[in-house]
């Protein structure tokens, strides 16, 4: 059987985690695909033994970035008009006026938003982005590379990066089939669809319904349900250490049971250190009642701030920090990338702790993969770092509406509520939460989760056999 060359367009750390660190490459290679990572990241893919072609010196057309901002805003305006739901206002980034350049950019963006806030206007904006990107040296370079390499398909690992427009346009102009992967469960309501590909790979039937609703120009046969490779690591039993080995490696007490606190970034949860302290105080109270508990603290991988230091220094007897294994490749925040070892580490944390607590993250699905429950904080701090921030607003975001049963989560309604909720988990009174969380997981991500790579390659194979 002749090899089919697939260009895997890699744009960021999420794509790295999903498609380089998972079993995705192994599955494709076994099926006789010749996989080439078309790599925009600073990570050297060839260090993993994979083929790569680097994309350096990417330069967009000067108008493209403004048009992208305008397109996102117009899309959100149309979502509001279509649904009569103001929650989409929450997804709009504030305009910047910090410099003359930023002020001019914001002013032009506002004028264009006013001019093109309609369905026809949105179509015009897409055409304009495509027109200008086809004028760039970047587009010409990508087109020349594709003419030389002749791949059977381009698979883009994220739908949100404007840097992927020119390569995908070049592929389309050469009649090479293209597909993009919707990489996160909350992306579609946020209007992050920047690319225009022949096919769109989504996590679930739920996400398929979303993409058809938000983007009515996309046809049903263009949307393929595959699941996401990001959860596959949790079903790889060979990557799990024994409890004793894991505890020894990270300085944990084998006589204790641990609760995982999974940190958020500063924007998502400005009061995160206070929630960590609330958990620590609850554990302190429980230990006075002859429980023997500790806390594993895993910070957000891109949060290198010192905002947790005071709490960590105050409770060294309770809290053990196990930092994510992400690596900075330069001083820029967007070059802080995950390592393969971090996925294994996170899977072991989920396996060897009793539950996870945090504010509204996908860790609910990571932990339920290990048959462990998740607790979400659902109260505001009395003294807030940002008085405009409201935890209740977070849970009104569209992606949480997929939660059909509130029992999917153990809700931590106050600092005083935490003790009993943890005690219930330790006493095995949380089966209804696990059942509901699994149902939610099955709605968000195609089951079985561990076969996502297989389903993606099935779809790629079909597309290669029936090119556009």
In a structure prediction context, what are the per-residue pLDDT tens digits for the chain, which is 468 residues long?
568 999 999 999 999 999 999 999 999 999 999 999 999 998 999 999 999 999 887 899 999 999 999 999 999 999 999 999 999 999 998 899 989 988 989 999 999 999 999 999 999 999 999 999 999 999 999 999 999 999 999 999 999 999 999 999 999 999 999 999 999 999 999 999 999 999 999 999 999 999 999 999 999 999 999 999 999 999 999 999 999 999 999 999 999 999 999 999 998 899 999 999 999 999 999 999 999 999 999 999 888 889 999 999 999 999 999 999 998 876 566 678 999 999 999 999 999 999 999 999 999 999 999 999 999 999 999 999 888 899 999 999 999 999 999 999 999 999 999 999 999 999 999 999 999 999 999 999 999 999 999 999 999 999 998 744
Query: What does the block give as tokens for 81?
Result: 């008009």
CB atoms within 10 A of CB 254: 9
Is the C-alpha dihedral spanning 187, 190, 193, 198 positive or negative?
Answer: positive
Output b/e per residue, 124-142; b: 16+ Cβ within 10 A.
bbbebbbebbbebebbebb
**DSSP-assigned beta bridge partners for residue 202:** 225
Distance (Å, whole) CA 162 – CA 166: 8
Is the bond leading into 448 cis (omega within 30 degrees of zero)? yes
Query: What does the block give as tokens for 455?
Result: 């389903």
What pLDDT does 56 receive? 82
What pLDDT does 377 receive? 97
What pLDDT does 332 receive? 66
What pLDDT does 375 receive? 98
Q: How far is CA 42 from the centre of its chain?
A: 19
With tokens 């350049």, the residue in question is: 101
Q: Does domain 4-60+136-228+449-465 have CATH number 3.40.50.2000?
A: yes
CA dihedral 140, 137, 61, 169 (to 10 degrees): 10
With tokens 């958020």, the residue in question is: 264
With contact defined as beta carbons under 8 Å apart, do 439 and 408 qualify? yes
Return phi, psi of residue 307, to 5°. Answer: -70, -20
Query: What does the block give as tokens for 383?
Result: 């003294």
Q: How far is CA 101 from the centre of its chain?
A: 31
Bridge pairing between strands 4-10 and 33-39: parallel
CB atoms within 10 A of CB 446: 21
The reply to whether 4-60+136-228+449-465 and 236-444 are identical in fold is yes
Count CA within 13 A, CB hemisphere, residue 28. 27
Residue 129's closest CA among 81, 161, 82, 176? 161
**Which residue ranges make up each domain of the chain?**
4-60+136-228+449-465, 64-132, 236-444
Q: Does domain 236-444 have CATH number 3.30.200.20?
A: no
The residues near 77 (Cβ < 8 Å, ≥ 6 apart) are: 113, 117
With contact defined as beta carbons under 8 Å apart, do 353 and 366 qualify? no
Output b/e per residue, 200-230; b: 16+ Cβ within 10 A.
bbbbbebbbebbbebbeebeeeebbbbbbbb
Query: What does the block give as tokens for 279?
Result: 């958990």
Distance (Å, whole) CA 89 – CA 107: 19
DSSP per residue over 91-111, as a string?
A: GPPPPP-SSHHHHHHHHHHHH
The residues near 71 (Cβ < 8 Å, ≥ 6 apart) are: 122, 125, 126, 129, 191, 194
Query: What does the block give as tokens for 424?
Result: 């219930």
């Amino acid at each position: 059987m002749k090899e089919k060359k697939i260009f895997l367009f890699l744009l960021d750390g999420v794509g790295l985690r999903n498609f380089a660190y998972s079993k995705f490459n192994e599955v494709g290679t076994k099926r006789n695909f010749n996989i080439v990572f078309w790599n925009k990241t600073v990570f050297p893919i060839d260090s993993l033994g994979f083929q790569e072609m680097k994309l350096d010196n990417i330069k967009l057309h000067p108008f493209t970035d403004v048009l992208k901002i305008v397109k996102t805003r117009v899309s959100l305006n149309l979502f509001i008009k279509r649904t009569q739901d103001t929650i989409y206002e929450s997804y709009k980034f504030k305009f910047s006026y910090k410099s003359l350049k930023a002020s001019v950019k914001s002013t032009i963006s506002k004028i264009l938003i006013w001019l093109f806030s309609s369905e026809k206007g949105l179509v015009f904006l897409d055409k304009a982005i495509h027109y200008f990107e086809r004028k760039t040296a970047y587009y010409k370079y990508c087109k020349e590379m594709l003419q030389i390499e002749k791949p059977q398909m381009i698979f883009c690992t994220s739908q949100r990066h404007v840097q992927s427009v020119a390569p995908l346009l070049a592929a389309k102009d050469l009649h090479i089939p293209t597909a993009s992967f919707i990489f996160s469960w909350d992306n579609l309501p946020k209007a992050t669809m920047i690319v225009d590909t022949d096919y769109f790979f989504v996590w679930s039937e739920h996400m398929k319904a979303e993409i058809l609703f938000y983007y009515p120009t996309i046809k049903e046969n263009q949307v393929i349900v595959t699941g996401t490779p990001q959860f596959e690591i949790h079903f790889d039993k060979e990557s799990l250490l024994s409890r004793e080995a894991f505890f020894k490696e990270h300085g944990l007490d084998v006589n204790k049971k641990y609760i995982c606190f999974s940190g958020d970034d500063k924007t998502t949860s400005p009061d995160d250190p206070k929630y960590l302290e609330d958990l620590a105080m609850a554990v302190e109270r429980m230990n006075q009642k002859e429980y023997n508990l500790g806390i594993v603290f895993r910070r957000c991988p891109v949060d290198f701030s010192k905002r947790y230091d005071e709490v960590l220094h105050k409770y060294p007897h309770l809290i053990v920090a196990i930092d994510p294994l992400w690596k900075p490749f330069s001083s820029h925040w967007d070059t802080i990338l995950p390592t393969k070892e971090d996925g294994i580490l996170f899977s072991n944390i989920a396996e060897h702790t009793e539950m996870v607590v945090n504010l509204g993250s996908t860790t609910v699905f990571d932990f339920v993969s290990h048959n462990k429950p998740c607790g979400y904080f659902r109260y505001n701090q009395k003294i807030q770092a940002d008085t405009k921030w409201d935890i209740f607003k977070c849970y009104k975001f569209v992606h949480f509406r997929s939660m059909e049963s509130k029992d999917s989560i153990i809700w931590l309604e106050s600092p005083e509520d935490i003790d009993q909720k943890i005690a219930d988990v330790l006493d095995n009174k949380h089966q209804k939460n696990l059942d509901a969380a699994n149902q939610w997981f099955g709605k968000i991500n195609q089951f079985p989760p561990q076969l996502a790579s297989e389903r993606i390659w099935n779809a790629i194979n079909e597309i290669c056999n029936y090119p556009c």
